[in-house]
Structure 1
Amino acid sequence: MAKMKRKAFVDKDYCVACGTCVKVCPLQIIKIEQGVFADINYDKCVGCGKCANVCPASVIEVKSVEVNQ
């Protein structure tokens, strides 16, 4: 049986690469790629939602996803 975990996802097409999410991530797993969009290390993301809460462009969403154990 698959287990559900929360993960943050960025809509890279609309990300403005402001870096606000980078500053609030408690695990420091978000970086700005190529100066264009935020990239989240999904394997390490715990889905706390802090990045989504501060995103001025509202392009980060926390979703429940299945993970294989």
Structure 2
Amino acid sequence: MTTTITVEGMSCGHCEQTVEEALAGVAGVTGASADRESAQATVEGDADVSALLAAVEDAGYTAQA
């Protein structure tokens, strides 16, 4: 399953990497990519959306489904 979430606050490549690492740490995630230009992150796997949003927010960014 593919889930796309909106992530606000990414301004550089390091930000994208931080978001990707935060998402990768969520149980059920098999892949994650973030794009600061579109302000979105795409997640592969069967992780709970609320867990994905919480992981991004814990990393310091604003997220919504």
> Into which bin does the TM-score normalised by the smaller protein fall?
0.3 to 0.5
Q: TM (normalized to structure 2)?
A: 0.44
TM-score, length basis structure 1 = 0.42
The structure where helix makes up a greater share of residues is 2
Higher relative contact order (CA 8 A, sep 6+): 1
